[in-house]
Structure 1
């Protein structure tokens, strides 16, 4: 009996994993948004000054849904790449960046921590970049699938920064800014 899987077996394994991973990633993203109270239903957010770069609110749900599906497919490609040298590190890296991603909405919308959320996004951008590098070592297509996610996360970082600039009084994360820049903290 041969130990090499047939193409049909590989496709079947990919589909089985995808049926679990893709909805799981999508659900976690949805749950994070609900937990954080994101969007138009959040009175605190509605009172914030919106920067000119802020897109129509409906766009966020559409874009994040597509990105979470692409992330799930990318993760499935890596999970099913049994025997790949960097597979374990790539999966751990994905889990770390996903945890950071899921923490942003509760931090920004729920805790009203604009500055802390900005710091989190900078760390997330680095974590996504590391994940892309590791995914590329396992399956290049998986890395390509994460590039739109990195682009959107970078856009979110700029947008978060603009929210902080437009709402200095709404930046409850000023305590974090004081830690990052003690001289600014004394002026507050």
Structure 2
């Protein structure tokens, strides 16, 4: 079992900040690109029959971002010399950048094709992150499995939107 610093210690608070702030930043950056483009652009697109209703996205992404923050907090709280910790953190932050960039590519640029160019590698980076996290902390890895499932499904939705609107 990995011994973590107490949450309210300086190290614990630093780890908590380093876990929460980048995840919140990725979420906010994605929302900045998404919300102004929901209507009329996105609303006017043809969507595949399996496209979920719009009300699902807010609660789903809130839960997924919460799980991401908790997972990366667990990795950050592992001792600095833990084998694989640095790589796990690197791929996690690459994953966050790709996550935020998708909204800009798909919504801001009005390009389902650019969304596909992002989301497929993003899904592969999520899988890589899960395997990298697993080497450091199995629970942290499991916390990212719902993200992998959701982004896998979102890839199919993105592909369907592109296909129907090409």
What TM-score comes out, normalization by structure 2 length? Answer: 0.88
2:128 aligns to what? 130
Q: CA deviation at 1:58?
A: 1.2
Is the CA contact 1:49–1:167 (under 8 Å) kept in the aligned structure 2? yes
User: CA separation in 2, counterparts of 1:159 and 1:39?
Assistant: 20
Q: Does 1:49 align with 2:9?
A: no
> CA-to-partner distance for each residue in 1:35-83, whole Å, 9 max, x for gaps?
x134774321111012111111011011001100100010010011012
User: CA separation in 2, counterparts of 1:166 and 1:38?
Assistant: 22
Is the CA contact 2:3–2:78 (under 8 Å) kept in the aligned structure 1? no
Is the CA contact 2:37–2:107 (under 8 Å) kept in the aligned structure 1? no
Q: CA deviation at 1:32?
A: 1.6
Instruction: Give 5+ residue unaligned stretches, structure 1.
Output: 169-188
Question: How many residues are aligned here?
Answer: 162
Instruction: Give 5+ residue unaligned stretches, structure 2.
Output: none
Is the CA contact 1:51–1:159 (under 8 Å) kept in the aligned structure 2? yes
2:118 aligns to what? 120
Moved more, 19-28 or 147-156: 19-28
What TM-score comes out, normalization by structure 1 length? Answer: 0.78
Q: Does 1:78 align with 2:72?
A: no
Q: Highest CA radius of gyration, 1 or 2?
A: 1
Q: How does 1:164-179 map to 2 (within 5 A)?
A: 164-168=162-166
Instruction: Please tell me the root mean square deviation across aligned C-alpha atoms, in Å.
Output: 2.1
